Amino acid sequence: MTDTAERQRIDKWLFFARIVKSRSLAQKMVRDGQVRLNGARVIRPSVDVGDGDRLVIALERRDLHLIVRAAGVRRGPYAEAQTLYEDVSPPPEAREALSAFEQAQRVPGSGRPTKKERRELSKLRGD
């Protein structure tokens, strides 16, 4: 891991691993503090990553937990990019999936009062 050929700038690695669409987006993500390297927040895109480093990347909808396996040579196809890292992210939380019918049903007591409830309200008010 001490050899410089095995290490690469973090913004370049994020781009080669297809985590972001461009190097400038990778640099912005790093500067904004959305990337952690071995538990520490990284704010310089010039920081080097190498084999065995752990990255936590805060994306819009989830956090990616990656272990760097190799430095990239180019931004190749997705299959090639997958060899650069090992994804150890926890599984996404299961969301409550409601069917359209379940979503359309009203909770009893919510909404407009029934005819019986209207009569009781009128009696109470003295109408």
Sign of CA dihedral 102, 108, 113, 116: positive
Helical (H) or strand (E) element with 11: helix 10-16
CA distances from 120 to 29, 108, 111 (A): 61, 17, 16
Two structure tokens written together for 69? 């396996």
- Output the pLDDT for position 1: 44
- Output the pLDDT for position 109: 72
- Output the pLDDT for position 104: 76
Kindly state the DSSP code that residue 108 receives in the 8-state scheme: T
- Output the pLDDT for position 99: 77
* List of domains in the chain: 4-87 (3.10.290.10)
Q: Nearest-CA neighbor of 37 among 73, 77, 8, 80?
A: 8
Q: Tell me the average confidence (pLDDT) per consecutive run of 10 residues in the chain, 127 residues long.
A: 72 96 95 95 94 94 92 93 93 70 76 88 90
- Output the pLDDT for position 112: 83
- Output the pLDDT for position 4: 54
- Output the pLDDT for position 28: 96
- Output the pLDDT for position 5: 58
- Output the pLDDT for position 94: 58
